């Protein structure tokens, strides 16, 4: 645009708008950094707590595994007559029971160990992201002062109106950043759940292949185990990310215009995480696990869609405040 074709009022307007837009953008970027750092600090607290709990559970499982191994070795060393008099039971049945319990504990220990490795990686990653929050807060205050001086120089009579609009913009933009953080966490959960459902569905579809001694039956059992293993390996990840998403939603609290019940997240984690190993061994409850996974996925989709609607509404409010500000600048 050729500046010589503008009226004096338009020249003042565009010059002022370009200058304030630059400062406002710097303010928004600084606020986004502060909000993100707050989220990182909160996420770090949650992750450290989860890591501590997982480490405690791992020690408990290790003790039980050692005890279970001793029981198996003791049973294997007893004669049939001795074990009959000792426990009034069949040696092979008792051994099979002890071995199955040991297998369950071993798989559970493996899951917890995988969870510990993930959480340790997550802690290191989050610690690296944390910078100096005080420096950011000082930077924001300095930018606000620059913004205020700019408004006063432009038109002292409009100072109060512009500062009010600026405050609304800052608060609304901060709210949008929080919504985006929650959406990002929800999308991670949704992606993991889709993967879990995909693997469990394969197990259900291959059910008729798992029997018999033929090559086809052997192949079916092998594919069955692989799919269950993949679903099982995702369970410790989804538990962690559901906690993150629940914290994001709870942080938004009453700001969002819809009701959130994050107890369904923990209910799923408790049921699915504790029973997927038993499902693998007994192959009796996969339909229940698949049903609970589908239900949680529907809930995740619902919350994500509601968050997107709210973000669209926030974008509308931001545009409204920008329009009000522009009207003042050209008046």
Whole-prediction pTM = 0.62
pLDDT at 11: 38
pLDDT at 269: 64
Reply yes or no on whether the pLDDT at 111 is more than 90: no
Reply yes or no on whether the pLDDT at 165 is more than 70: yes
Is the pLDDT higher at 228 or at 82?
Answer: 228
Residue 283, sorted as left (phi over 0), alpha (psi -120 to 50) or beta, turns out to be: left
* Choice among 34-48, 197-211, 229-243 with the minimum mean pLDDT: 197-211
CB of 151 closer than 8 Å to CB of 290: no
Give me the mean pLDDT over the 221-247 stretch.
78
Reply yes or no on whether the pLDDT at 8 is more than 50: no
Is the pLDDT higher at 286 or at 81?
Answer: 286
- What is d(CA 4, CA 185) in angstroms, rounded to the nearest whole number? 50
Structural domains of the chain ordered from first start: 1-154 (1.10.287), 174-331 (1.20.120)
Q: How sure is the predictor about 42, in pLDDT bands with cuts at 50, 70 and 90?
A: confident
Q: Is the dihedral of CA 45, 49, 51, 52 positive or negative?
A: positive
CB of 27 closer than 8 Å to CB of 140: yes
The separation between CA 52 and the C-alpha centre of its own chain, rounded to angstroms, equals 18
Give me the mean pLDDT over the 256-279 stretch.
68
Q: How sure is the predictor about 38, in pLDDT bands with cuts at 50, 70 and 90?
A: confident
b (16+ CB within 10 A) / e for 219-246: ebeebbeebbebbbbbbbbbbbbbbbbb
pLDDT at 280: 52
Reply yes or no on whether the pLDDT at 193 is more than 60: yes
pLDDT at 232: 74
pLDDT at 176: 93
pLDDT at 75: 64
DSSP class of residue 263 equals: H
**Where is 284: in which H helix or E strand?**
none
* Choice among 42-51, 168-177, 246-255, 278-287 with the minimum mean pLDDT: 278-287
CB of 241 closer than 8 Å to CB of 192: yes
């Amino acid at each position: 645009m050729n500046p010589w074709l503008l009226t004096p009022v338009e020249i003042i307007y565009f010059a002022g708008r370009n200058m304030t837009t630059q400062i406002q953008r710097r303010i928004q970027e600084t606020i986004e950094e502060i909000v993100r750092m707050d989220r990182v600090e909160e996420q770090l607290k949650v992750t450290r707590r989860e890591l501590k709990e997982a480490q405690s559970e791992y020690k408990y499982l290790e003790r039980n595994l050692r005890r279970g191994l001793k029981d198996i070795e003791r049973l294997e060393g007893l004669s049939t007559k001795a074990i009959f008099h000792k426990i009034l039971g069949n040696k092979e049945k008792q051994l099979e029971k002890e071995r199955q319990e040991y297998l369950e504990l071993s798989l559970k220990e493996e899951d917890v160990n995988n969870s510990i490795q993930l959480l340790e990686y997550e802690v290191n990653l989050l610690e690296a992201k944390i910078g100096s929050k005080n420096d950011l807060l000082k930077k924001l205050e300095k930018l606000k002062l620059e913004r205020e001086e700019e408004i006063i120089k432009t038109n002292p009579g409009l100072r109060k109106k512009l500062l009010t609009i600026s405050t609304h913009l800052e608060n609304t933009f901060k709210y949008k950043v929080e919504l985006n953080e929650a959406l990002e966490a929800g999308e991670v959960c949704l992606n993991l759940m889709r993967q879990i459902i995909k693997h469990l569905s394969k197990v259900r579809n291959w059910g008729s292949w798992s029997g018999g001694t033929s090559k086809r039956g052997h192949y079916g059992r092998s594919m069955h185990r692989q799919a269950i293993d993949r679903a099982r390996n995702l369970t410790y990840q989804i538990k962690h990310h559901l906690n993150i998403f629940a914290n994001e939603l709870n942080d938004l609290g009453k700001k969002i215009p819809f009701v959130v019940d994050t107890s369904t997240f923990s209910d799923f984690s408790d049921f699915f995480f504790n029973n997927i190993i038993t499902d693998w061994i007994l192959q009796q409850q996969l339909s229940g696990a698949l049903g609970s996974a589908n239900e949680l996925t529907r809930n995740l989709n619902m919350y994500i869609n509601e968050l997107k609607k709210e973000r669209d509404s926030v974008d509308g409010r931001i545009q409204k405040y920008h329009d009000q500000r522009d009207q003042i600048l050209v008046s």
